[in-house]
Structure 1
C-alpha cells in the first residue's frame, strides 16, 4: 500500500498563509490610514448633516424634507469616505464593481418605482414652491377641502363632507391649484330676478344698499350690480360682493344672509321675484277655439240623435 505524500499540499498551504500574513503586515499602515479616514468622514458626515439642516430651516419649514435631505447628506458624505477608503486599501477592482452595481440597481429601481419617484420629486417641488399651507382651503383636480397634512408622496385634503382624500403629489403638481385662503378674501355671486313691472333703478339701489349694510361684507366700493338678461318671466341681475374668507361667518353663511336680506327688502318694498308660469291652452286645434270646439261637438251630437 502506497503511502500518502502530505508534505507538498501542507507546504503549499503554509506558503499561502505566509503570503497572506506578509500581505496583512504590509497593509497595516494602509489599514490604519483607512480607519482614520473612516472616523474623519463619520464626523464630517454628522457635521455636514447639521449644517445642511441649519441652512434648510431658513428656506423651508417642511420637516419631512428637512429629515430627508439631512439623511441624504449624511450618507452621501459617508459614501464618499467609503470610496476613498477602498482606494487607500488598494481595492480599485472593488470600487469599480461597486459603482457598476449601484448604477444597475438605480436604473432597475427607477423603472420599477417610477410613479413613486414621480410623486416623491413632485413632493419636493411642492415643498419649495409652497402653493398652500396646512389649514388652507384649496381645490385640486375637482376635489375641494382643507389641507390636513402633506408628505413627500401625497397631499391629504379633508372635504367639507368630512372625508379625507389622498391626492398624489404628481397630480397636485400637474393640475391647477385653487387656493381660497391665500388672499383672505372671496367673492359671492348671487343671481336674482325681478318682475318686468318693477322699477329697475329702484331695485338696483335697494339691493346695493341692503348688501352694503350686511355685517361681514368688505370692499363695498368694489361691489358689482349688473342686469344680465331678459328672462322668460323676469329680468335677471347679478349682485357680486366680497367677504373675508375663510374667516367666520363663512361663505355659505354669508350667502344665506344675503339671500334672506334681499327677500326681506323686496317684500318690504312690494318688489316681486317672479316664478315661471306655464299656461296650457287646450282650445287650439285646426284654427278653432276651445269654446267653438265644444259648440261644434254639441251640434254634431244633436244631429246624430235626430237621425
Structure 2
C-alpha cells in the first residue's frame, strides 16, 4: 500500500514539475497569439484601406478583410502550438492537417461552397449592399454580404439569411440595378367611351404628377377587351427605382386617374352581369338607338315586354277586345 501511494505521489510530482516547466512556454505561446491578433487587426484595416482606395464596394472590403484576419490568426495558432508543445513540429502539424483535410472538406462542404459563392458574388457584383432584390419568395434590401450568407431586410422589417450558394445559382431580380424603373397600372373604361380621348386625358393627368419622368414619356396602351370594360395599361417611369417610391407613384397615378376620368364623363365600370331575352330590356335604359348593354343600336327596336304589356292592358278593356296572349295565364 505504501509502495502504491509513493508511486502515485511521484507521478503527481512529475506532472506538476512538467506543468511548472511548461508555464513559460504557455505564456510565450499566449503572448505570440496576442501579437498575431494585433497583426490580424492591422491586416484587416490595411485590406479595407486598400479596397477603399481602389474604389471597391464595401462588401468586398469587408469579406477580404475578414479572410486576411482569419489567415493571420490561423498562422498565429500554429506558431503558438509549436511553442507550447516543443515536440509538435511544423512538419507533423501540417501532416496531420493534410490527413484530416479530406474529412474536413466533406464535413464543411456547404460552408466552403457558400464561401466560394460569396467571393464570386463580391467579384462579379450582380448586386451590392443597399440594392433591393427579389430572391424566391423574399424581397428586401441587401444589408450585408458575409462569407457564408447574405443578409436581407424585408420591407416589413424582418431579416432573411440567404446562403450565398443559393443566390449565386438561382435567379435573382435586382430592382435597383438601373437608375430608372418602369411601372404600370391597369384602368378600365366603358365600351361606349372614346379610347383616344381617354388616352389623351390620362397622359395629360400624368404630366401634372410630381415624381414621374418626362423622358421616357408615359404611354397608354389597350391591353384587353374585358368582360365588362376596355382595359388600358398606363406605363410610366420613376427615379429612383426603390420600392417606396414605386408604391407611392402608383398610388398618386391611380388617385389622379380615378378623379380625372369620371369628371370628364368616362365610365369606370365594375363587374356586372345582365341576362336579357330577345324581347326584353329595361325601360329605364333610355334611348333604344343607343344601347350600352351589348345589343346593336337600331332604330326599329321592338317595344320591351313591359311596354307591350302596358299597352295591352290600356287598350284591352276599353277597346272591347279579348285578352291578348301576353295577358293569358
Fold similarity call, TM over 0.5 = yes
The aligned residue for residue 209 of structure 2 is: 214
**Matched positions, count:** 242
| Backbone CA RMSD of aligned residues | 3.8
Alignment of 1:221-240 (within 5 A): 221-240=216-235
| Cα displacement string for residues 131-164 of structure 1 (whole angstroms, at most 9, x for unaligned residues) | 3333321112231111222311121111112221
Question: Which residues of structure 1 form unaligned runs of 5+?
Answer: 1-37, 86-90, 284-289, 300-307
The structure-2 alpha-carbon separation of the partners of 1:53 and 1:105, relative to structure 1 and needing over 3 Å to count, comes to farther
Deviation at 1:67, TM superposition (A): 2.6
> For 1:169, which of 164, 179, 183 is the aligned residue?
164
Once the two structures are superposed, what CA deviation does each residue of 1:148-188 show, in whole Å capped at 9, x if it has no partner? 22311121111112221111111111122222223232211
Aligned counterpart in structure 2 of residue 260 of structure 1, from 255, 258, 267 = 255
Match of 1:28 in 2: none
Structure 2: which 5+ runs fail to align?
1-31, 279-304, 307-324
State which of 109, 114, 122 in structure 1 corresponds to 2:109: 114
Distance, in Å, in 2 between the alignment partners of 1:243 and 1:180 is 12
State the partner residue of 2:196: 201
- The range that moved more, 250-259 or 72-81, is 72-81
TM-score by length of 1: 0.65
Equivalent in 149, 154, 171 of residue 159 of structure 1:
154
Deviation at 1:243, TM superposition (A): 0.9
Aligned to 2:141, what secondary structure does the other structure show? strand
Q: Which moved more, 1:200-209 or 1:125-134?
A: 125-134
Instruction: Give the conservation status (yes or no) of the 8 Å contact 1:139–1:178.
Output: yes
1:187 to 158, 182, 185: 182
Change (3 A) 1:249 1:54: closer
Equivalent-residue separation in structure 2 for 1:180 and 1:247 (angstroms): 7
Deviation at 1:270, TM superposition (A): 0.3
CA distance in 2, matches of 1:182, 1:156: 18
The offset of 1:121, in angstroms, is 1.5
Residue deviations 1:226-278, cap 9 Å, x none?
11222111111111000113469711111111111111111211000112221
Does the C-alpha gap of structure 1 residues 52 and 209 become closer, same or farther in structure 2, counting only changes over 3 Å? closer
For 1:178 and 1:255, the matched residues in 2 are separated by 20
Cα distance in structure 1, aligned partners of 2:214 and 2:62: 39
Q: 1:228 is paired with a residue of what secondary structure? A: strand
Does the 8 Å contact 1:53/1:70 carry over to 2?
no
| Matching residue of 1:126 | 121
Judge conservation of contact 1:216–1:249 (CA < 8 Å) in 2. no
* CA distance in 2 between partners of 1:53 and 1:148 (Å): 18
Q: Corresponding residue for 1:244?
A: 239
- The corresponding residue for 2:139 is 144
CA contact under 8 A between 1:211 and 1:258: conserved in structure 2?
yes
Relative to structure 1, the CA distance from residue 144 to residue 60 in structure 2 (aligned partners, 3 Å threshold; closer, same or farther) is closer
Work out whether residues 60 and 128 of structure 1, in 8 Å CA contact, stay in contact via their aligned partners in 2. no
Which structure has greater helix proportion? 1
Match 1:69 to one of 28, 48, 67: 67
Name which of 93, 100, 105 aligns with 2:100.
105
Stretch moving more, 62-71 or 188-197: 62-71
2:269 maps to: 274
The answer (yes or no) to whether the contact 2:178–2:241 under 8 Å persists in 1 is no
How many angstroms apart in 2 are the aligned matches of 1:182 and 1:101?
47
Output the CA distance in 1 between the equivalents of 2:243 and 2:90: 64
Matches of 1:103 and 1:243 in 2, distance apart? 57
